[in-house]
Structure 1
Amino acid sequence: MPTEPPYLRIAAELRRRIVSGELAPGERVPSTRAVVREWGVAMATATKALSVLRAEGLVRAVPGVGTVAAERGPRLAAGEGPALNRDRIVRTAVELADAEGLPAVSMRRVATVLATSTMALYRHVPGKAELVRLMSEAAFGERPLGPVPRHWRTGLELAARWLRAVYGRHPWMVQAMASFTRPTASPHAMSYTEWVLRALRGTGLPPHAMLHTHLTLFAYVQGLALAADMEAQALQDTGLSDEEWMTRNEPQFEAVSTGGHFPVLHRLFEHDAFELDLDVLFEFGLRRTLDGIAVMIGETSA
């Protein structure tokens, strides 16, 4: 008698937890890594198990959270759902990247989630590189920036916060937009650049300085987004928050800092504890960056 494939056994157990209410609607279900650890299976097997639940509509991806138990009942069986098209493929890929990161996205994986063949995807999207470009384009096009403010500083501050919000909703964007020297031809992303350049139009800066200003601000926001993404990845890999990690490693830092080799650094933490907060750091760095641009604009005007 043939045995049931491991991925179906895993899917059945997770289905039981969801249907019984052991996993409440909105509660996070085990990630692929958690499934690998719990059942001792390969990553591909864990992926197939979760894909079965997605196809049944029992789980859904939540940006910044992961895969959670769905609030509604199962969707229509495979073949009865909406027709396959490029928009549906891109939306599915974005949801997958939001939940598990960009490395989890492949043509095969997206096809599995959509309960179709990989070749069916290639009729709409030529490959992963184009899929990632379309995903980035979709993320940039979600919410408009609105009209350009009259003052350049108000405009750049708005642009920086808008971009950070995009990275917050879609942390994988920091990898998709990593290359400055090889940018992709994406209309929505280029519209963002155009918006920033319009905000700088009345400053008197020469064209190259305007572009460097835009790229400097972009790089600043992207750098902090990368830090946030790395922290989220570390949390997923270790199960420790940044505070828990620092507490565990505090003795090693204490031993090094009290050795006399770093007197200024040691003196900084001698009386007041310092807690690194990326939101506070963003505000501090944004103000200082805009202050520097203001000096440059003043010098150019003079």
Structure 2
Amino acid sequence: MPADPPYRRIVADLRRRIATGELAPGDRVPSTRQIATEWGVALATATRALSTLREQGVVRARPRVGTVVAEAPAAPTPPRSARQPTRHTTRQPTRQPTERPGADRSDAAQPGREPELGPSGRRPAARVSARPEADVNRDRIVRAAIEIADAEGLDALSMRAVASRLGVSTMSPYRYVGSKDDLVRLMADTAYGEQYPPESTPAGWRSQLELGARVLWELHRRHPWLAHTGPLSRPLPLPNLLVHSERMLSALDALGLDPTTMLDVTVLIYNHVQGLAVHLEREAQARAATGLSDEQWIDTQAPAMDALATAGPYPTYARILGSFRRTGYDLDLTRLFELGLHALLDGLAVRLGQRTGAGPR
């Protein structure tokens, strides 16, 4: 008898792990790259194995997590004839003491029920119990809004959502913040104020610019929605953002540049940070929409990419793609940020008439 295809052997082994309890419901199963490494197969074979398990209902995609072992199906409900007879009484059901007539019981308040995912596929920020209106102030409103945007993205942000999170009436936030646009400006200013480049900056314009750019990148990673607050050509008038600009302009001021060049360089650095940071939020949205991580999604495209490489005159692409056939290519945004930052500053040094590693640093 011919041996089973490799993907079927992988499927059988993973099913065995699940059956023996080595992988329990909700546990992440090995990714396509992990399978390819462990079994010594191509990514396309590993992808087919996981696809087969999904079709069989053994695993499922969980947004922002990856592929996990599916829960065991619930036991079927016995027919009515097999159940205990139901006694009919005329007594009215007793309302729980803490439940008010007409009170809205949210999903989060119902035991054993998972709250539904928000519009971006992320789990909505938990509601808090109602608090007196006197406890609400602008700082609380801004912090609640940041928590919502961090968890679900700017699309999920509304004044109603903020009021719900704070447990106050819908109109209460408007007493402190005029509109959603005003709220987003306050959120961005607060986020940029969470961290500054240290006062004791390293010597040299380049080291100071590197430090400033890395602080901005860290803030955008912490709050991915920051890159979506407005286009680069329409900067928001934010005091805390100006602190970051002041540090970078001060680093350039010692070089004797004209004002236009100083601002151009500062804008280029912001553009480098923002241009990569927009993909942090898009990545989260794509994971929520597909249930696949970036790695898993790319792996599903492997057959099409292989076909494209062999169908046309793309010898360099085919060679590069072949070198990643087993391990895959990891698109690391932080690594790209560092690569682009060094390239940008190297080019600036040349344009200033300096050689890299020489002249003022």
Give the TM-score band, short-chain normalised: 0.7 to 0.9
2:321 and 2:145 map into 1 onto residues whose CA distance is 45
1:12 and 1:299 map into 2 onto residues whose CA distance is 64
- Number of the residue aligned with 1:32: 118
1:269 aligned counterpart, secondary structure: helix
**Which deviates more from structure 2 when the two are superposed, residues 131-140 or residues 247-256?**
247-256
1:209 and 1:9 map into 2 onto residues whose CA distance is 55
Which amino acid in the other structure matches residue 105 of structure 2? Answer: L
1:286 and 1:17 map into 2 onto residues whose CA distance is 48
Kindly provide the CA deviation profile for residues 61-102 of structure 1, in whole angstroms up to 9, marking residues without a partner as x. xxxxxxxxxxxxxxxxx2358711111100100011001001
- Number of the residue aligned with 2:105: 8
- Number of the residue aligned with 1:91: 143
Which amino acid in the other structure matches residue 205 of structure 2? Answer: W
- Number of the residue aligned with 1:26: none
Kindly provide the CA deviation profile for residues 185-243 of structure 1, in whole angstroms up to 9, marking residues without a partner as x. 11111111111100111122211111111111110111111122211211122111111
Which amino acid in the other structure matches residue 295 of structure 1? Answer: V
- The share of aligned pairs that are identical, in percent, is 40
- Number of the residue aligned with 2:62: none
2:235 and 2:117 map into 1 onto residues whose CA distance is 32
CA contact (8 A) 2:189 2:238 kept: yes
- Number of the residue aligned with 1:54: 127
- The 5 A counterparts of 1:136-175 are 136-147=188-199, 148-175=201-228
- How well do the aligned residues superpose, as a CA RMSD in angstroms? 3.0
Which amino acid in the other structure matches residue 31 of structure 1? Answer: L
- The 5 A counterparts of 1:76-155 are 78-80=130-132, 83-147=135-199, 148-155=201-208
Kindly provide the CA deviation profile for residues 233-292 of structure 1, in whole angstroms up to 9, marking residues without a partner as x. 111221111111111111111111111232322222233453322222122111111101
- Number of the residue aligned with 1:215: 267
1:180 aligned counterpart, secondary structure: coil
1:205 aligned counterpart, secondary structure: coil
2:318 and 2:254 map into 1 onto residues whose CA distance is 46
CA contact (8 A) 1:141 1:188 kept: yes
Aligned length, in residue pairs? 254
Return 5+ residue gaps in structure 1 as ranges: 24-28, 37-46, 57-77
1:210 and 1:146 map into 2 onto residues whose CA distance is 21
- Number of the residue aligned with 2:315: 263
Kindly provide the CA deviation profile for residues 136-190 of structure 1, in whole angstroms up to 9, marking residues without a partner as x. 00001112222243301101110111001100110110101x3222222111111
CA contact (8 A) 1:152 1:199 kept: yes
2:160 and 2:257 map into 1 onto residues whose CA distance is 48
2:354 and 2:193 map into 1 onto residues whose CA distance is 36
- Number of the residue aligned with 1:291: 346
CA contact (8 A) 1:204 1:297 kept: no
Return 5+ residue gaps in structure 2 as ranges: 1-91, 93-100
- Considering fraction of residues, name the structure with more helix: 1
Cα separation, partners in 2 of 1:35 and 1:265, compared to 1, 3 Å: closer
Q: Scaled by the length of structure 1, what TM-score is found?
A: 0.76
1:32 aligned counterpart, secondary structure: coil
Which amino acid in the other structure matches residue 264 of structure 1? Answer: T
Which amino acid in the other structure matches residue 90 of structure 1? Answer: V
Structure number with greater Rg is 2
2:296 and 2:141 map into 1 onto residues whose CA distance is 39
**Which deviates more from structure 2 when the two are superposed, residues 138-147 or residues 274-283?**
274-283
CA contact (8 A) 2:185 2:238 kept: yes
Which amino acid in the other structure matches residue 117 of structure 1? Answer: S
Which amino acid in the other structure matches residue 226 of structure 2? Answer: M
Cα separation, partners in 2 of 1:35 and 1:227, compared to 1, 3 Å: closer
- The 5 A counterparts of 1:60-79 are 78-79=130-131
Over 6 Å off, 4+ runs: 4-7
Deviation of 1:5 (Å):
8.3
Cα separation, partners in 2 of 1:143 and 1:9, compared to 1, 3 Å: closer
1:238 correspondence with 2:290: yes
Cα separation, partners in 2 of 1:173 and 1:9, compared to 1, 3 Å: closer
1:144 and 1:34 map into 2 onto residues whose CA distance is 30
Kindly provide the CA deviation profile for residues 90-141 of structure 1, in whole angstroms up to 9, marking residues without a partner as x. 0100011001001111111111111112222111000011100000000011
CA contact (8 A) 1:150 1:199 kept: no
